[in-house]
Structure 1
Amino acid sequence: MEKKKFDANSFIGLLLLGAIMLWFMYSSQDEVTPIESSVETVTDTTKNNTVEPNATTIAVSNDSLSNLALQNQLGAFAYGAQTAKKGTTVLENSVLKLVIDNQGGQIIEAEVKNFKTYDSLPLYLIKDKNASFNLNFGTTDNRILNTKDLLFIPSLTKNGDNQVLSLKLKVSDSQFLEYRYEMKPGDYMVGFTVRSQGLSTVINGSNTVKLDWDLDGYRHEKSMKTENMYSTLYFENEDEVDYYQRDATELEETIKWTAFKQHFFSSILLTDTPFSSAQVSTKDLVSADENNKTFTKQFGLSTPLALQGGELNYNMSWYYGPTDYTILKGYKDTNISEIVDLGWGIFGFINRTVFIPIFDLLSGWMTNYGLIIILMTIVVRILMSPLVYKSYVSSAKMKVIRPELQAINERLPGKENAMKRQQETMAVQRKAGVSMMSGCIPALLQMPIFFALFRFFPSNIELRQKGFLWADDLSSFDSIFTWDMHIPIVSSFYGNHISLFPILASVAIFFYMKMNQSQQANMQAPQQEGMPDMQKMMKLMIYLSPIMMLFFFNNYASSLSLYYFISNLLTIVIMLVIKYYVIDEKKIHAQIEENKKRPEKKKGKFRQRLDDAMKQAQEQQAQQKKRK
């Protein structure tokens, strides 16, 4: 068979035909916009080709996918999340401004109006995510949700003059978890309700619903060290107010309120239904980081919430405001005023019943708080002057009978005569109308005043940022010289500044103790063998006490140093007046001689038992001496 030869003309024709067909297909092709694979293609029924989907179709498809994702993530709570939006709501009155975020339904800003920080900035207790409030709970479809991550739907209304903000996490229009805030005019206390409706089939009752509240305390005062020292977590458990200052601890008793106290300002959560138990915690952020200049302490509260019939129902309140005793005392049904550290027992009683009323009375007459402190000091010293007088009279009497006591010591020397010597000494003092305790009692009675005022001035917010002379803030130290260099021991105990009022107070107390030394020397019986030398101890204290005050008070409130400076000056003046114009030693000597002539009064039961005990001890001592 003959082979077919290659036809070149036919091959060229086929190539030309193919090129024409390709050109025709390209020129007649429709322009199509690319579509994401997640969007379905829509076919036109009137034409036999594909058309571009419109914007509405794409939005509907995206919403369907978003709703599906929310359903997978939030379960029943996806219903409200579909319409919830990010945003904030402001509640504000004349003293407090709160900004509440839709996300979490929590307060993200709390500004205490009418107050400024030490560097004249607005004073915030909450700002820039330093605080968190969250409810953690499980659902019946085995999800664990945190309210701080969820968007609430807000609704702002009025209840008379009160502003009411309701924020809801919705399962349906009639099923929701609600946070409700109610702010009154001119009040630091804000009503806060946590309740659920129709969620008994949604919230898993076998899981604990847990409330977590955390806050990092901002620095507000000039002395960060002092502010940190007075920053404490307080709580009331079973009608007893207690505090906690370190790490974390479990509280098994019921808790009525918890306060994160930052010296002069506090954040408090109160509840009408006491929490059954709680874990509270604090952390010292000043000591933890030497470079930290922003935060003082870290506070935390974690507590379970009880379900009632499968629902939450807690009526609570927030307090964001000053740690002012008068303001806090105004909330009658609570004990939150006890977070003001006025001292325990008798010290707190003296502050509440004496010093606070006196201070309020004087501050109603004048606005210069330095002068108020001086006037208050004068009042206190005048009230205490009878004790000073009594002490001086006892000192003068002891000075008169001192030669007789010295003669007894010389006549009955040695340890073997100690009991006899003591009996005769007491007999002379008794006839002269002198008691060793008469000099000690006035000093002891003044000690509660000293410690009460030690608590009163640093806790008094009225003194905050009030100046006097060179002190620009009577609630903080009054530095006249500062330095930046860190000196390990000096900076830790003394600080990086020099305060003038502590120096003046130290000088005044030195001269007071110097004058008081001779008086105390008169009060003491002559030195007896085997007894410690009290004169040497007193001389040591004359120099040691001013040095201790100088170092210890350098970082304390200048109002406290001002008080002690004025108080010691006034005491010196009173002592000089009593010594040179009131006490007449000749009259006292004549009175003692007259007392000696009188028959001795019948002994009381206590003195009789004391004399019998001394006599018995003396007899036993004599018998032991004979045996030897």
Structure 2
Amino acid sequence: MENAGLRAFLAVLLSMVILFGSQYLFTKYYKPAIQPTEQKEERKKEEKTQTPQTHSFPTDKKEVKPLVKETKYKEVVVENEVFKVVLSNEGASIKSVELKKYKDSKGNPIKISSGQIPALSIIKDGKFDYAKVIFNIDDSRATFKKSNEAEVVFTYTDDTISIKRSFIFNKTDYVIDLKDEINGIGSHYVSLGENFGIFDKTDAPHFGPVILKEAERIEINPSKIKDTVTYREGVKWIAQEDKYFFSAIVPLSKAEKFIIFPYNGDAIGAVEFQDGINQYRVFTAPKDYDYLKKFNVDLQHIVDFGFFSIIARPLFWFLKLLYTLVGNYGVAIIILTILVRIPFIPIVNRGQKSMQKLSELQPKLMQLKEQYKNDPQRLQKEMMELYRKYKINPMSGCLPILLQIPVFFALYKILTIAIELRQAPFMLWIHDLSVKDPYYILPILMGATMLIQQKMTPSTADPTQQKIMLLMPVVFTFLFLSFPSGLVLYWLVNNIFGIVQQFYINQKIKKAK
């Protein structure tokens, strides 16, 4: 019983090691999406009802051949305040998108490009022939000089088929409104293209296709897709994502189904439409939660706050509020860490006082163990009597840790996925809170403060267990070496706050004696 708090503490630390370590050391092995029980059977049924052309999608780039090339290849550029889009008349597709406000490591605008299968390619009967059709193009309204909208229209006709695709842009948003007027094709798919929406796979908790079905975010691991997977009812959008950026198709007209199919080791998402007029919106954008929320299509759920999202969202809002006040996300993290710890002060104080009493009681507990070593039931009874006599709750020492775990995990998720921290400077050598400390100073300080706090905290463990506990700061230091600076800063400040609080408690107990 006296070691219950130690075991709980070790369990918590182990769970943190597993969570943090898996996030960064094993990102290529994605966890399956967490699905509500009532939807699992539905998912199995959907996977069985795959499209007739499930196995007919080409998996070799050589199979993509031009259908017709009667007009010349042409590209047209449309540029608004936030992005520059390059459209191609080959397939009436998107060739690339530059996000003006976001820079790569060299200071150039982030560029998201299509692969072999361009974004918005039309797929018919499992073939990509229409991706190579050369369309006629009307780009007379491709600028915003005379209007608040820009429009580019692509057309293609033959003896039996008529296709008209209109791209409509506004001045301020990362969104394109699409209108397809198609006759003679019948059932067809509009594809997100190969890797379109993915800029950098490094350290991404997930990259590749993701859909929102009802209120459930479903991540697809590209390497595990062997056959086409079909989703029918309740899908609001289909997207392709990395850590900070994404592309998505949000249907405005009725979409028959949504599919994910394998291609060259990756996975591609597509939406099925029928002949007629079909309207949908295409986003190529940063994962900015507040910005995406304004479109009222639940696209903000592309930002995955994890299991404790109910806690993470208000904390994220508060972090951004602090940033507006202080103008530095590093300072905002420090303030947020302190404010989050304040409500736990009374609980931690009571827990530490209880642990101190329990530590002082160890000689008597050891006597009981020796006296009743052959009678476990009597030993348990005598120990409980001793706890009642001295008014000690043996579990109170680990209760503060357990209560703070949801907050820790919520903040961890925020500080590892928030695009607001990308390339956000703090001070001195920390120029980007979203990447590791280049000199490993913060992780080393974090480990040192963790060790100091551990030394100051009363322990009921035996000498062997205490030596094992001393390994935890070392383990965490090495684990945090590759973590984002913002996350390590949070943990460092949290430790410093804990040291100050423990010092105060120890002094108070000393005076009371």
For the criterion TM > 0.5, the same-fold answer is: yes
Q: Given that residues 476 and 557 in structure 1 are in contact (C-alpha distance below 8 angstroms), is that contact kept between their aligned partners in structure 2?
A: yes
Give the structure 1 partner of residue 13 of structure 2: none
1:253 aligns with 2:231: yes
Question: 1:504 offset after TM fit, Å?
Answer: 1.6
- The counterpart of 1:188, out of the listed 138, 162, 174, is 174
CA–CA distance in structure 1, aligned partners of residues 303 and 369 of structure 2: 53
Question: 1:419 offset after TM fit, Å?
Answer: 0.6
Question: 1:300 offset after TM fit, Å?
Answer: 1.6
Spell out the pairing of 1:80-95 with structure 2 (5 A cutoff). Answer: 84-95=71-82
1:360 aligns with 2:299: no
Question: 1:574 offset after TM fit, Å?
Answer: 1.1
1:476 aligns with 2:435: yes
Q: Secondary structure at the match of 1:332?
A: coil
Give the structure 2 partner of residue 32 of structure 1: none
Give the structure 2 partner of residue 133 of structure 1: 120
- The counterpart of 1:580, out of the listed 495, 499, 507, is 507
Give the structure 1 partner of residue 157 of structure 2: 170
Give the structure 2 partner of residue 234 of structure 1: 210
Give the structure 1 partner of residue 43 of structure 2: none
Structure 1, unpaired ranges of 5+: 1-72, 285-297, 481-498, 525-533, 587-628
Give the structure 1 partner of residue 401 of structure 2: 443
- The counterpart of 1:506, out of the listed 447, 467, 489, is 447
Provide, for residues 501-521 of structure 1, a one-character-per-residue CA deviation record: whole Å limited to 9, x for no partner.
Answer: 2122112212222222xx231
Aligned AA for 1:316? Y
Q: Tell me the TM-score normalised to structure 2 length.
A: 0.77
Spell out the pairing of 1:206-225 with structure 2 (5 A cutoff). Answer: 209-216=188-195, 225=202
1:279 aligns with 2:260: yes
Q: How many pairs does the alignment contain?
A: 438
Q: Given that residues 90 and 135 in structure 2 are in contact (C-alpha distance below 8 angstroms), is that contact kept between their aligned partners in structure 1?
A: yes
Question: 1:153 offset after TM fit, Å?
Answer: 2.9
Provide, for residues 93-152 of structure 1, a one-character-per-residue CA deviation record: whole Å limited to 9, x for no partner.
Answer: 2111112112211111201111110111121112686844321337xxxx9941432323
**In structure 2, do the counterparts of structure 1 residues 408 and 380 end up closer, same or farther at CA, with 3 Å as the change threshold?**
same
CA–CA distance in structure 2, aligned partners of residues 220 and 338 of structure 1: 19
Aligned AA for 2:203? T
Spell out the pairing of 1:453-532 with structure 2 (5 A cutoff). Answer: 453-467=411-425, 468-480=427-439, 499-516=440-457, 519-521=458-460
Q: Given that residues 237 and 256 in structure 1 are in contact (C-alpha distance below 8 angstroms), is that contact kept between their aligned partners in structure 2?
A: yes
Question: 1:299 offset after TM fit, Å?
Answer: 4.6
Question: 1:456 offset after TM fit, Å?
Answer: 1.2
Give the structure 1 partner of residue 88 of structure 2: 101
Spell out the pairing of 1:322-337 with structure 2 (5 A cutoff). Answer: 322-334=286-298, 336-337=299-300
Give the structure 1 partner of residue 134 of structure 2: 150
Spell out the pairing of 1:395-434 with structure 2 (5 A cutoff). Answer: 395-414=355-374, 417-434=375-392
Q: Given that residues 192 and 249 in structure 2 are in contact (C-alpha distance below 8 angstroms), is that contact kept between their aligned partners in structure 1?
A: no
1:301 aligns with 2:301: no
Structure 2, unpaired ranges of 5+: 1-65
Instruction: Determine which structure has more spread, i.e. the larger CA radius of gyration.
Output: 1
Question: 1:465 offset after TM fit, Å?
Answer: 1.1
Give the structure 1 partner of residue 468 of structure 2: 540
Provide, for residues 318-372 of structure 1, a one-character-per-residue CA deviation record: whole Å limited to 9, x for no partner.
Answer: 11111122222222222x222223221xx2221102x212211211112222222
Give the structure 2 partner of residue 114 of structure 1: 101
Question: 1:231 offset after TM fit, Å?
Answer: 2.8
Q: Secondary structure at the match of 1:520?
A: coil
Aligned AA for 1:235? I
Give the structure 2 partner of residue 340 of structure 1: 303
Q: Given that residues 388 and 442 in structure 1 are in contact (C-alpha distance below 8 angstroms), is that contact kept between their aligned partners in structure 2?
A: yes
Relative to structure 2, which stretch is displaced further, 438-447 or 368-377? 368-377
Q: Given that residues 442 and 489 in structure 2 are in contact (C-alpha distance below 8 angstroms), is that contact kept between their aligned partners in structure 1?
A: yes
CA–CA distance in structure 2, aligned partners of residues 538 and 300 of structure 1: 52
Give the structure 1 partner of residue 285 of structure 2: 321
CA–CA distance in structure 2, aligned partners of residues 326 and 231 of structure 1: 21
Q: Given that residues 98 and 109 in structure 2 are in contact (C-alpha distance below 8 angstroms), is that contact kept between their aligned partners in structure 1?
A: yes
Give the structure 2 partner of residue 68 of structure 1: none
Q: Given that residues 131 and 216 in structure 1 are in contact (C-alpha distance below 8 angstroms), is that contact kept between their aligned partners in structure 2?
A: no
CA–CA distance in structure 2, aligned partners of residues 536 and 232 of structure 1: 47
Spell out the pairing of 1:549-588 with structure 2 (5 A cutoff). Answer: 549-581=476-508, 585-586=512-513
Relative to structure 2, which stretch is displaced further, 399-408 or 507-516? 399-408
Provide, for residues 260-311 of structure 1, a one-character-per-residue CA deviation record: whole Å limited to 9, x for no partner.
Answer: 1121111112223344241245888xxxxxxxxxxxxx552245x242xxx2
CA–CA distance in structure 1, aligned partners of residues 194 and 511 of structure 2: 65
CA-based RMSD of the aligned residues comes to 3.1
Q: Return the structure number with greater helix share.
A: 1
Q: Which has the higher contact order (CA 8 A, sep 6+)?
A: 2
**In structure 2, do the counterparts of structure 1 residues 556 and 111 end up closer, same or farther at CA, with 3 Å as the change threshold?**
same
| Fraction of identical pairs, as percent | 24
**In structure 2, do the counterparts of structure 1 residues 279 and 330 end up closer, same or farther at CA, with 3 Å as the change threshold?**
same
CA–CA distance in structure 2, aligned partners of residues 264 and 579 of structure 1: 44
Q: Given that residues 121 and 128 in structure 2 are in contact (C-alpha distance below 8 angstroms), is that contact kept between their aligned partners in structure 1?
A: no
Aligned AA for 2:404? Q
Give the structure 1 partner of residue 45 of structure 2: none
Q: Secondary structure at the match of 1:133?
A: coil
Q: Secondary structure at the match of 1:86?
A: coil
**In structure 2, do the counterparts of structure 1 residues 274 and 550 end up closer, same or farther at CA, with 3 Å as the change threshold?**
farther
Aligned AA for 2:242? Q
Aligned AA for 2:289? Y
CA–CA distance in structure 2, aligned partners of residues 282 and 503 of structure 1: 44
**In structure 2, do the counterparts of structure 1 residues 399 and 147 end up closer, same or farther at CA, with 3 Å as the change threshold?**
closer
Aligned AA for 1:503? I
Q: Secondary structure at the match of 1:226?
A: coil
Q: Given that residues 267 and 320 in structure 1 are in contact (C-alpha distance below 8 angstroms), is that contact kept between their aligned partners in structure 2?
A: yes
Relative to structure 2, which stretch is displaced further, 106-115 or 393-402? 393-402
Provide, for residues 6-39 of structure 1, a one-character-per-residue CA deviation record: whole Å limited to 9, x for no partner.
Answer: xxxxxxxxxxxxxxxxxxxxxxxxxxxxxxxxxx
Provide, for residues 554-599 of structure 1, a one-character-per-residue CA deviation record: whole Å limited to 9, x for no partner.
Answer: 222111111111211121111101210367554xxxxxxxxxxxxx
CA–CA distance in structure 2, aligned partners of residues 192 and 445 of structure 1: 49
CA–CA distance in structure 2, aligned partners of residues 275 and 506 of structure 1: 54
1:267 aligns with 2:247: yes
CA–CA distance in structure 1, aligned partners of residues 416 and 259 of structure 2: 30
Q: Given that residues 194 and 313 in structure 1 are in contact (C-alpha distance below 8 angstroms), is that contact kept between their aligned partners in structure 2?
A: yes
CA–CA distance in structure 2, aligned partners of residues 112 and 400 of structure 1: 62
CA–CA distance in structure 2, aligned partners of residues 582 and 314 of structure 1: 73
Q: Secondary structure at the match of 2:459?
A: helix
Q: Given that residues 280 and 300 in structure 1 are in contact (C-alpha distance below 8 angstroms), is that contact kept between their aligned partners in structure 2?
A: yes
